[in-house]
Amino acid sequence: MIYINTHAFQEEALVRDGRTEEGKRIVEFTFQVTHEEYHEVTVLLYENDFKVQAGESEPFQAEILQYSTDMVNLYEPGSASRYTLALIEK
């Protein structure tokens, strides 16, 4: 299990057609990924199955809604990138 130290964390309810969908949360956050962490983080992103727990809230299963990175090449030692990840409750 990997714990990700997040920044700019936001949690909100899913809203469709102007209505809040009960039981569907969206979390969005940023985090740093280093050259040394890159492979392990990439594997997790491709698996697309996350257990999310923020603070004392109940954990929930989620999948990727959207993600981006500010640098693609993390193969060089010492490199780092900021990832932005939005997850939606399954």
List pLDDT tens digits, range 18-67: 777 777 889 999 999 999 999 899 999 999 999 988 778 889 999 999 99
CA-only gyration radius of the chain, Å: 14
Question: What does the pLDDT average to over 57-78?
Answer: 89
Task: Give the residue numbers spanning the domain of 85.
Answer: 7-89
Give dist(CA 64, CA 52) in Å, integer: 12
Instruction: Please report, as a single letter, which amino acid is at residue 31.
Output: F
The structure's pTM equals: 0.84
Q: Is 41 among the domain residues?
A: yes
Q: Is 2 among the domain residues?
A: no
With residues binned 3-state (H G I as helix, E B as strand, rest as coil), the percentages for the chain, rounded to 5, are: 10, 55, 35
Q: Is 38 among the domain residues?
A: yes
